[in-house]
Structures are given as C-alpha cells and as structure tokens.
C-alpha cells in the first residue's frame, strides 16, 4: 500500500513539473515575440541574417526574337539614317531660303532647282539600295521632316510629278506615301535603335557618301562578278554532293549483292 502511495505521488509530481515546464516555454515564446515586435517596430530593420532590399533602375529583358529584330533594324538604320538627316537639313535650308522669295514663279523655279540637286545627291545611292533599305529611308525621312517622300515631291515638283513618281515607285514595290509610326510594330524597334544611337550605345557615323554614276556602275559590275563566282562555287558543291551520293548508293548495292 505504501509503495502505491509513493508511486502515485511521484506520478502526480512529475505531471505538475511537466505542466509547469510547458507553461514556462509558452510564456518565453510570447515574451520573445512581443520583444521582437517592439524592436523591429521601433527600428524598422530586418534581422541581420535576412536578405536586404535594394531599389535600382529597371533592367529590360529582351527575348531572342526581339534581339533578332532589333539587330536587323539596326543594320538598316545605321546605313540609311545619315541620308535622312541630310535630307532634313537640306529641306530646312531650302524652306528658309524660299521665304525670302516673294514671287511665286521665282519660288517654284527655286524649288525645282533645289529638288534637282537633292535628287542628284540621292539618285545613285537610292538605286543601290535593297527594297527594305529604300523603305526604311523613306520612313526615316518622314520621321525627320514630318513629310512623306510624296509630300516632298508634291511640294517641290508639283502634284502631277509626285503622282508619276509614286506610280514608278510601285513598280519596284515601294510607296512614296509611307510614314513612320514610332509606337507600332518594327517602327517601335527602329525608334529604340535611334535612341540608342543618340545615347552613344550604338556606333554611328552620320557622314554621307556621295555615289556618282561611275562609282555606281563599278559597284554593280563588282556585285555581278561576286554573284557569278558565288553561283559557280555552289554549282561545284552541288555537283560534288551528287557525285558522293551516287558513290554511296553504288557501294550499298554492291554490299547488298555480296
């Protein structure tokens, strides 16, 4: 009987001690939370072992497709943008000088001569352009002058001549009414390229190279020779490829018979 009483008292004391330990742990946890909240609330700091937050400039992330389009537009812009800037300067100068001419007849004659000089500066350069390059040049001229190539032709040569020029341009898959839309499609990318040029991110030389008739003809002749050599080279490659294919087929038939 005494043994039972001793065991019972031991179990009861153990249970009391366990309860006290649990209660003390809970009190300590609550106290730590209250203390931690007070410290962080006063100082406004994260714990030293936590990640700190930093604010910086937004870094754009471009897809591979966008970068391909950007590089393609950059090649076009770098080639033709100097001529768009040159055209804008010439037109500004022509308009400034035309303001001093009062008589309409003399002003029209002045416009005609100015247009002739501008066309001579661009003639062989434009003839040497691919379709995509010519289209880009007209877009950038509209960006820099606020006028389409049709508007320029109409202003300096008359509407009849402008319509004739536009009809001829359509034969070469061009449109003199084309405009530059900086917030739409590829034009948006072109606008970014130009901003990068102005910021010095993209290398750019604004010096134009005047192409005369002789230079143009020599360039076309060299291009023709280059294409001829390239065609001859690929013809030899195709011939060698067919020869190798026949040799492989012949060896396979021989192996099958054996």
pLDDT of res. 39? 45
Question: How close are the terminal C-alpha atoms of the chain, in Å?
Answer: 106
- Residue 98 makes CB contacts below 8 A (sequence gap 6+) with 107, 110, 111
Q: Which residues of the chain have pLDDT under 70?
A: 1-61, 211-213, 215-217, 219-220, 258
pLDDT of res. 50? 55
Q: Rounded to whole angstroms, how far apart are CA atoms 109 and 116?
A: 11
pLDDT tens by residue, 75-133: 999 999 999 998 899 888 888 888 888 888 888 888 888 877 777 777 777 777 888 99
Domains of the chain, residue spans: 64-212
Q: Are 150 and 177 in contact (CB under 8 A)?
A: yes
Global pTM reads: 0.62
pLDDT of res. 116? 78
Instruction: Output the 3-class SS for 199-254.
Output: CCCCCCCCCCCCCCHHHHHHHHHHHHHHHHHHHHHHHHHHHHHHHHHHHHHHHHHH
pLDDT of res. 2? 53
């Amino acid at each position: 009987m005494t043994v039972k009483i001793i065991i019972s008292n031991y179990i009861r004391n153990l249970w009391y001690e366990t309860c006290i330990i649990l209660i003390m742990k809970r009190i300590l946890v609550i106290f730590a939370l209250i203390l931690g909240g007070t410290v962080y609330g006063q100082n406004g700091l994260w714990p030293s072992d936590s990640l700190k937050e930093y604010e910086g400039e937004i870094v754009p992330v471009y897809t591979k497709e966008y970068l391909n389009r950007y590089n393609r537009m950059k090649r076009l812009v770098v080639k033709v943008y100097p001529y768009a800037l040159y055209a804008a300067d010439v037109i500004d100068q022509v308009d400034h000088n035309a303001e001093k001419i009062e008589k309409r007849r003399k002003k029209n004659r002045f416009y005609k001569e100015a247009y002739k000089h501008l066309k001579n500066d661009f003639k062989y350069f434009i003839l040497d352009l691919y379709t995509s390059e010519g289209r880009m040049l007209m877009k950038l001229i509209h960006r820099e002058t606020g006028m389409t190539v049709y508007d320029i032709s109409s202003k300096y040569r008359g509407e009849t001549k402008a319509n004739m020029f536009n009809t001829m341009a359509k034969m070469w898959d061009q449109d003199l009414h084309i405009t530059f839309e900086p917030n739409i499609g590829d034009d948006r990318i072109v606008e970014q390229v130009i901003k990068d040029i102005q910021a010095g991110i993209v290398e750019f030389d604004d010096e134009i190279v005047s192409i005369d008739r002789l230079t143009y003809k020599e360039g076309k002749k060299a291009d023709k020779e280059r294409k001829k050599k390239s065609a001859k080279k690929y013809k030899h490659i195709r011939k060698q490829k067919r020869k190798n294919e026949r040799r492989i087929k012949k060896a396979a038939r021989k192996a099958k018979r054996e």
